[in-house]
Structures are given as structure tokens and as C-alpha cells.
Chain A
């Protein structure tokens, strides 16, 4: 029942944050978030036996059932930690709407994580989609509104597919619909267009939770509800491989630092998906572990990059440089994040990546995973080098302390989780794993060097535009049909009456048949 208490606190906090003014709002929402984190922590000793709470709702045909097990507790811990740090970080935003929405979002996401039935999961997922929309467009600039529009359209589209799957229930349609809906939600290629737009346009704390929590809800749904739809997980593998490679390649050629991170989300989600698709015990463990680790280090990366943008007001990697001397702490945190996502020993990314590496059967699939990891190394070499090393190109303003605390916490977690996971249970700290890791770094640096020489690092390729174009073309054709229909409808009144008579006659014809 603690979860209901958390939700009550968060909702009350959201209402209060709309009422109180000024700085109190920030402290209030921070307190609420910390309370929710503490609440989730009380579940931390949950054993392997899941506990299910059923709550009858007044005047509702279905009862709400919450399931507390290791998976949901672990995921909800990461989510509430990310949200808490996001609240701490967002001290520079001072609009009440922002805090209220973020608190509500946390409540809804936690409920979604704990829901046992798919229907309630869908309901909370949809609510979080809508709330996140308002967070993404928080700045209200035309690009952010466009990104938000794309986000909400695609995500509602994905959500209704899940709804349709719930209603249809059985094979052959339901599993396909469900998987497609989840793929849209997690931004896997070919449904990744919204990820690349929404992450850069959202305020930094929102990008962090978007990548750490919202995108993962799609993955979580697959892990959680695959048995309900008797899903064949191996069908996910092609999408996983496509996202892995595609995400890395797209990230390698971006200039916008937040966009680089967004495309890496696509690629990392692909890696997680691959783990699920393998249908082996090891793959599953690796996937769940990577889901959690990715939340931590991607949150760290987004927040540290957000500090850079806050300090310099610049998001183009080419225009940045030499920031390490000006903000050593942010630089170090970013380095930890980069090493972690690249899967370097001894950070947490290393553990889950090694597990997944062992889970993948030898052959071309392993090759693709290796290339993806190497590409990640290359891409983050680029990000770190052009942002923090080299000549100073931009003057920067100091970053306030409250924005740095989350970086320290998350960096510590990256290292701590890496050591903890590496030593406890998962036997990955072996010589061969470290050699693999070194090999990967070498290849990654080589890729970076070659790409740098060939000058393809900052050229946005046509392919991204083509996938994007496909969606806008679809929208445009619907619009064209609409305009054609609109023209068709504007006629003389005689025509309408004639049409009426014809319609009634056709009704008659139809019924008598």
C-alpha cells in the first residue's frame, strides 16, 4: 500500500506546486520526490515471490491490481531516483506548471510500472505520454512545439496499438499490434523519428527522464507483458539489430550534442531489445541490467551536457571546446558517463554489456554488437573531445551547485553499480572480458580516426531525412485527401438534395438485397 501513499503525496504535491509561489515550489517538489524515492526503497527487500495488491475502485468495472516484484521495484527505483535528481537539477526553471507536471508524471509512471493488468498499464502509459508532451513543449518555441506534436502523435499512435492489442487479446493480431506499439514507445528504428526531435527540444531534466524512464516503459512493457500476449520474442531481433547499428551511425554524424545522446538512446534500446530477443536466461538478465544501467548513465550524460548548454548557450559540438579547464567537475562527470556507456571497465555499462556479449551466439550477430559498441566508443570520443578538450571557443558562465549534485550522485552510482554488479553474482570481471573491452576501445578509436580523416563526422546523412520524410509525407497525403474532400463537399444545394435522394435509394437497395 506504500505505493498508493506515494501517489497521494505526489498528486498533492503537484496541486500544491501550482498554488505556492517562487522557490518554495522547488523545495516542495523536491521533498515529494525524495519521499517517493524513500517509499519505493521500503520495497527494496522484496523477495523473489511477487506480492499482488488488489484495490477495488468505486464505480469501476475493473479493479486496480498492483504487482510488487524485483523487476518493478528495481525499475521504479531508477525512475524515482532520476526524477528526484531532475527536480534538484531544475532549479533554474521557475514556472509552477513545470513542477506540477513533472510530479504528476512521476506518479503516473510509478503506477504504470506497478500495474499488473495491461489495461491499467496502458491507461497510465497514455497519461504519462500526454503529461510528457506538455513537458517537452515547455519552452513554447516553434521547434519544440513541432517536436512535441510529432512526439504526441506517434506515441498516441503507439499507445492505441497497445490498446487494440488488449481488446483483441488473442493471436494472430494481438502480439503484432502490441509489439509495434511498444516499438513506437521505445523509439526503435523505424519509429525513432520522435526520439531525435523530442530529446533535444525538451528541457534538460525532462530529456534525462525521457530517456531514462519514458522510453524504457516500452521495453518494460515487452518484458512484463510478453507472456500475456504469448509473444515470440525472437521477432524483436531484427528491430534490435537495426536500431543498434542505425542509432550509432546516425549519432556519429550529428552536430547537436543532445541529438547525439538521443540517437544513442535509440542504439542502446536496440541492445536491450537484443537481449530480450535472445530468449535466454543470460540475455534477459543482461537486458534488465542494461535497462537500469542505461537509465543511470544516460541520465548522467544528459544532465552534464545540459550543464554545458546552460553554461555556454551552445549545443553545436563544433562550436564548443576546452571546457574541461573551466568546469572540471562537469567534465569529469561527463567522462564517467562516456566511459560507462562505452562499456569500459569498471563502470556499470561494462557489466551489462559483457553479459549481453556473452549471451549473444557467435557469428554475425556478435559482430554487429561489437561494431555497435565500437561505434559508441567512437561517437563518445567525438563528443568528449570536441566539447571538453582542445581550444577554448566559448566563454562560459558558472554552473550553480544544485546542478552539480546530481552529476556527482549519478557518477558515483555508475562506478558503484559497476563494482557492485561486477563483484556480486555476475562473474564478468574476467581477463577475457577486459581484453574484449580493450579490443572494442581500440576499434572505436580507429573508427573515430578514420571518420575524422574522411570528414564525415558532422555531415547529417540523407537516410535520417528519408525516414523522417516518410512520416511527414504520410501526414501530407492525409492532408491532401482532406483538402480534396473539402473541395468535393462545397457544392450547390441542388446537388446536396440530389445526393440525399440517391443515398436513400441506395439504403433501400442495400436493405432489400
Chain B
């Protein structure tokens, strides 16, 4: 059964390779090729879903599934591990990438003809699964690079000047941050003599006692590099460009999943330094609070719809980081639930924004027009979720984080979170207002929305409402993730 762990990384990897073959010049008619490609992508992602479902009962009962590659001892070889924490993130990632792929069938139709898009999409999924499953920090670095490189390329698929500029910016900053990460891996190997997380965690207390300075260096480097990748505020400069310039399904994946993978990485690696290292000195919490405020204020002044969503992502990541930084069980539970919720809501919003931009033929918030009622409703529900209006999922996780903050006597932090909700109400209702304004220049012709584009949005909205009405579904998994995820 635990062989499935390998399968979960290998499946997207092989799919990426096979799909890249379709880019080789051939004589198959375009439509046939398209169908082959679509069928294959759906099959590959279904395989991934099935593997996750097969492992679900074991993981959700609190068990930790591990597998050692090639039978080497974990000390020498590479170990894979799936526990509730990685399962939770993996499940959301697979669902969102599935929906993103379905959405791309029509959205990226002309570009997918080249085969590049599909190949790198699956490579990105492989990177995501790899980061989530590996127990080896160098391996984690490698998968992070696979993930980042495919993202750099996916951003350029719009093939406009701005796409390349945004991608280059991300490429340079992302590579520098990866270099920092590699540096941290190197130092860790030098002082502990191992790359396996379990071994590192074992020897770390002794090292901390002897000379904590190298550990502090490692921690700062990891925090810095993961901070860049997840868009913490003084390090967020690449994020609005990359997220707004990428094609909508890729933006959804970037904001919804890739940011969360970096948060997962930070959380996973912080366990190496002991249980409550993240919270021990409130660096992360303060950076998180700053991120929340700055992200919201910047989102307020954006004119471009997707750029506004990107800044809103920054602010929400700040909220998650605040929860992790507070460090009590309750706050971390809320933060983990918010990871799931934000992944669902924000990817839904980006997919919805794609449809809205498609229908109004403009990215500017003030020029949105001709949005179909269903899409408008989805946009309203999803944005209310981010604002944190009951009974949506964003409310439950925000409430748990608030309780966590107050319980840990950070009342002012709770105040800031609440203030950010009001600000987010401001920037989301600006869009809602624009969607509902009847336009004088409104065209009689509305571009049709194919079901492949509308279905993912409806599905994500339904999941958000469901998780909001039954919050314990998510909260109990988050609780389990804290219980077995540490260590």
C-alpha cells in the first residue's frame, strides 16, 4: 500500500513526459490530438485522486504512511511520508489542479495545442506532490526547483511582453531564494550529518544546546526563502506581477496551491527545530501581521482585477502566517484550516476572474460588464468567504484564528485581523459593485462560457459553502494534522 506514495509523485512526472511528446511534430489532426491530450490529462489526474482516496482511510485514522526508496536505510536513502498534514494539503492540491486542468481545456485551447502547457502543468503537480511527500530536505529543495521552474514557464504561456517580464522577475527572485534554501540545506548537512528530517530532528536538541547560532542561521535562511516564495511582505515584490500576468488557471494554482506549498515547507521544516520554534520569538507573527495590513491596503488601490486578487492573497497568507506564528494549538489549527479554505476560495476567485475578464473583455475593475448571473453569484459568495462572512468557510477558520490569538493574549493581533476583514470588505465590494452596475455600453452579445470553465467555479463555490456550513469536517482534519504532523 505504501508504494502508492511513489506512485503519487511518479504519475504526474510520467504524464508530463508523455504529454511533452505531443509537442513533437506529428501528422495527427489537431482535434484528435486535443482529444487524446484531454483524455490523458483527466486519466492521469483521476489516477492521482484514486491513489489519495486509497490512502485516505489509513491517514485519517491517524496513521503515518512511510516508504523508503530502494530499500535503503532512511539515513542513506530517500524516505517518503504521508501524514494528515501532508494529506490535507495534497488533497486540496489535487482537487484544485484537477479543476484547473478542466478549466484549461477551453481557456488555454490555442496554447495547449503546443503541448508545452500540459507538460509543465503536470511537472508542476509532480513538484507539488514531491515537496509534500518527501522526508529528505535536499529532495525537498529539488522538488521546489521543479515546481518553480515549471511555474516560471507556465507564466509565460500568455506569450505577451508583460508575461515574460513578470516571469523573469519571479525567476530571478525565486532563484535567489532557492539559493538561500540550498545554503540552509548545506549548513544543516554540515552540522547534523544527515539530510533525513527524522534524523535532523533527533540530533537538533543537542546542537541547540551546544551552539545555537548555526541553527538560527538555518532558520533565518529558511524563513527568508519560504517567505519569498509565499509572499511575506517585505519579500512579496514578485507576487502581484506573477499572479496577475499568468493565465487564469495558472494564477489559480499559484495563489491557491503554490503559496500554500511554501507555507507547508516552512511549517514542516520548523518542526525540525523543536515543536514551538516558530512561536518562540514572535518573528513570524509580527511579519504576518504586517503582511496582513500591507497586503490589504495595497489591494485596496489596485485597478486591475487579478492584481487585486493577488494582493488579497498576500494579505490572507499573512493571516495564515500570523496563526502559525501565534503557535498555540488553536491558532495553528485555524491557520491550517485557513490554508485549505484559502486554497479553495482563491483558486475559485481566480477562475471566476478568468470568466469575468473573458466576458467583459477588460481586466480593469471599473470596466467589468456583462457578467452572467451565475458567475456573479459565485464571485460574490467566494469573496464573502474571504471577507469572512458566516456561514462560509473563511469565517470559521478566521474565527478559530481569532480565538487562538485572544487565548494567547494577543488581543491587538485579533484587532488587526478584524480590521483587515473590513478592508477586504472594501476591496471585494468594489468589484461586486462594478459587476452589478448596469453599463450603458453593455454589448448585447455575451461571449459564451463553456461548461469546462463554469463547472470548476461552481464546484469550488459549492465546496466552500459546504465546508463553511460543516466546519468540523475541516477543523478535525486540521487537528489531526497538528497531532501527527509534528516531528
Chain B residues near A126: list those with CB within 8 A.
389-390
A148 within 8 A of B: yes
A493 x B169 contact (CB < 8 A):
yes
Q: Which residues of B contact A505 (CB under 8 A)?
A: 220
For the A-B complex with A478-B423, A499-B237 known, give 14 more contacts whose Cβ atoms are closer than 8 Å. Answer: A59-B471, A61-B472, A123-B391, A127-B389, A145-B437, A153-B429, A167-B399, A167-B414, A482-B298, A496-B238, A503-B224, A503-B235, A507-B220, A511-B281
Stretch in B32-40, B110-118, B171-179 touching the partner: B171-179
Q: CB distance B472 to A60 under 8 Å?
A: yes
Q: A157 in the interface, Cβ–Cβ < 8 Å?
A: yes
Is A479 a contact of B177 with CB atoms below 8 Å? no
- The answer on a CB contact under 8 Å between B391 and A127 is yes
User: Given A153, A168, A499, A513, which contacts B425 in the complex, CB threshold below 8 Å?
Assistant: A153
Which segment of A260-268, A352-360, A390-398, A483-491 sits at the interface?
A: A483-491
Shortest distance between the CB of A512 and any CB in chain B (Å): 5
A152 adjacent to chain B (CB < 8 Å)? yes
Contact B437 A140 (CB under 8 A): yes
Cα separation A505 to B414 with both chains bound (whole Å): 28
Return 19 A-B CB contacts under 8 Å, by A number. A61-B472, A126-B390, A127-B391, A130-B384, A137-B433, A137-B436, A153-B422, A156-B389, A157-B425, A164-B418, A167-B403, A173-B411, A497-B172, A499-B235, A503-B227, A503-B234, A504-B221, A504-B223, A508-B217
Asked if B298 and A500 make an inter-chain contact with CB atoms under 8 angstroms apart, the answer reads no
Q: Is A58 interfacial (CB-CB < 8 Å)?
A: yes
What 1/0 flags go to A150-177 for Cβ under 8 Å of B? 0011001100110110011100010000
Which residue from B281, B415, B473 sits with its C-beta under 8 Å from A59?
Answer: B473
Give the complex CA separation of A156 and B424 in angstroms. 10
Please provide the chain A residues from 455 to 487 with a CB less than 8 Å away from any CB of chain B in the complex. Answer: 475, 478-479, 481-483, 485-486
On whether the beta carbons of B411 and A496 are closer than 8 Å, the reply is no
Whether B475 is near chain A, meaning CB under 8 Å from some CB there, is yes
Distance between B120 CB and nearest chain A CB, rounded to angstroms: 23
From B237, B300, B429, give the contact of A496 (CB < 8 A).
B237
Q: Is A149 an interface residue (CB 8 A)?
A: yes
Chain B residues whose CB sits within 8 angstroms of the CB of A483 once the complex forms: 301
Q: Which of B177, B384, B414 contacts A168 (CB 8 A)?
A: B414
Judge if B50 is at the interface, Cβ distance under 8 Å.
Answer: no
Contact in complex: A130, B297 (CB < 8 Å) = no
Contact B220 A508 (CB under 8 A): yes
- A510: interface (CB < 8 Å): yes
B369: min CB distance to chain A, Å: 12
| A residues near B475, Cβ cutoff 8 Å | 61
The answer for the CA separation of A282 and B192 in the assembled complex, in Å, is 76
Q: State which of B216, B298, B406, B425 has its C-beta within 8 Å of the C-beta of A512.
A: B216
User: Which B residues fall within an 8 A CB radius of A?
Assistant: 169, 172-173, 176-177, 180, 213, 216-217, 219-221, 223-224, 227-228, 234-235, 237-238, 281, 283, 294, 297-298, 300-301, 384, 387, 389-391, 395, 399, 402-403, 406, 411, 414-415, 418, 421-423, 425-426, 429-430, 433, 436-438, 470-473, 475
In the complex the two chains form, what is the Cα distance from A237 to B238 in whole Å?
52
* Contact A489 B389, beta carbon cutoff 8 Å: no
- With a cutoff of 8 Å between Cβ atoms, the chain B residues found around residue A137 in the complex are 433, 436
Contact B281 A500 (CB under 8 A): no
**Which residue from B172, B391, B430 sits with its C-beta under 8 Å from A493?**
B172
Residues of A within 8 A of B (CB): 58-61, 122-123, 126-127, 130, 133, 137, 140, 142, 145, 148-149, 152-153, 156-157, 160-161, 163-164, 167-169, 173, 475, 478-479, 481-483, 485-486, 489, 491, 493, 496-497, 499-500, 503-505, 507-508, 510-513
Given A482-B297, A503-B234, A164 contacting B415 (CB threshold 8 A): yes
Shortest CB-to-CB span from B472 to chain A, Å, is 4
Interface of A is mostly: helix
**Cα distance, A478 to B298, chains bound together (Å):** 9
Contacts A140-B437, A149-B433 known; A481 to B391 CB distance under 8 Å? no
Q: CB within 8 A of B470: which of A59, A127, A140, A499?
A: A59
Contacts of A486 in B (CB 8 A): 298, 301
- The distance in angstroms between the C-alpha atoms of A61 and B395, with both chains bound, is 14
Cβ 8 A contact of A61, one of B172, B414, B471? B471
Cβ-defined partner of A145 (8 Å) among B219, B426, B433: B433
Known contacts A497-B176, A500-B173, A508-B216; A130 and B436 CB within 8 A of each other: no
Within the assembled complex, what's the spacing in Å between the Cα atoms of A199 and B216? Answer: 58
Which B-chain residue is minimally distant from A148 (CB atoms)? B433
Cβ distance B216 to chain A, nearest Cβ, rounded Å: 5
Provided the pairs A486-B301, A493-B169, A512-B216 are in contact, do residues A507 and B433 lie with their beta carbons within 8 angstroms?
no
Q: Measured between C-beta atoms, what is the minimum distance from B404 to chain A in Å?
A: 10
Given known A145-B433, A152-B425, contact A59–B403 (CB-CB < 8 A): no
Which residues in A have their C-beta under 8 angstroms from that of B220? 504-505, 507-508, 511
